[in-house]
Amino acid sequence: MADIIHRAGIKAAVAKVYAALATVEGVAGWWSREASGVSSPGNVIELIFNTPTGEVLGVIKFEVTSMIPDKQVVWRFISGPDEWVGTHASFDLYQDGDYTIVLFAHRHWAEPVEFMAHCSTKWATFLMSLKALVETGQGHPSPDDFKIDNWN
Amino acid sequence: MADIIHRAGIKAAVAKVYAALATVEGVAGWWSREASGVSSPGNVIELIFNTPTGEVLGVIKFEVTSMIPDKQVVWRFISGPDEWVGTHASFDLYQDGDYTIVLFAHRHWAEPVEFMAHCSTKWATFLMSLKALVETGQGHPSPDDFKIDNWN
């Protein structure tokens, strides 16, 4: 088993960061514009990732497994890349001075494969997209996401 | 033990990416402008990290432990943050079409502490700085590095 972990600090109230993680509209603002579903425990959110020219790169579905207002959001991936199925992404929040700290983890990868390394870097850029969304009102969700390598 | 892993793809010949990792001038172009020392196996490189106003944030020293032209660079951290001492950073390179792929790892953290999560995100931004340096001639080394949270 292997985990991806990240830490981001966002200059905003924790409620604003929580809203960007705990609502479909929020997720659409930093991860993928094509987000649909219901963001509440037991329900499912679907994200479609397109190329800038509109071809589908991939579809990810996850169940929301925990939502604790201003503290935590946890997702369990149901479909998407094979390596993701059954893994969890969690966002734990706390306030530190002017910042809301986001402790991110994408846990329970079977092996630390090259695709996990790709996803680790890509998650960092999406967390910076979340930071930009909350701090400036403008994130960089797919298909305008930052391209880190030849895989995306 | 815990590891940080990342993957970056740089649209450039592998020799150009290797030079940015295997020379002090290269490292100064993407990690910290204040880099000095000798980049060859058994020798030491020192980096000073300053705030934008010139105060010293930290100093990192590492020994170069492996240099295989166009393939690999490995460093062992001698001093710097306590958690880093004795850990290794490695950069493994291979060509994939128009891209040079960088497989990065910062291995052998004693525990996956919050500071490791910070460093994971920060490494991603420095790898994107490396990508920018090689692709455009302009990286974002300290003190112009991308600030990810309240720790830096």
Task: Give the residue extent of every domain in chain A.
Answer: 2-136
Cα gap A30→B152, rounded to integer Å:
22
Most B CBs within 10 Å, among A3, A6, A98, A115, to test the B interface:
A6
CB contact under 8 A, A4 and B120: yes
Cα gap A96→A86, rounded to integer Å:
32
Cα atoms in the Cβ-side hemisphere of radius 13 Å centred on B68 = 8
pLDDT in single tens digits along all 152 residues of chain A: 899 999 999 999 999 999 999 999 999 999 999 999 999 999 999 999 998 888 999 999 999 999 999 999 999 999 999 999 999 999 999 999 999 999 999 999 999 999 999 999 999 999 999 999 999 999 999 999 999 999 99
Q: Is the pTM of this model over 0.95?
A: yes
CA distance readout (Å), B100 to A4, B32, B69, B94, B152: 23, 22, 13, 6, 29
| ipTM of the complex model | 0.96
CB contact under 8 A, B128 and A131: no
Parallel, antiparallel, or unpaired for β B72-79 and B2-10?
A: unpaired
The CATH classification number of A2-136 equals: 3.30.530.20
Record the tokens describing residue B94, joined without a space: 């291979």
Most B CBs within 10 Å, among A148, A151, A152, to test the B interface:
A148
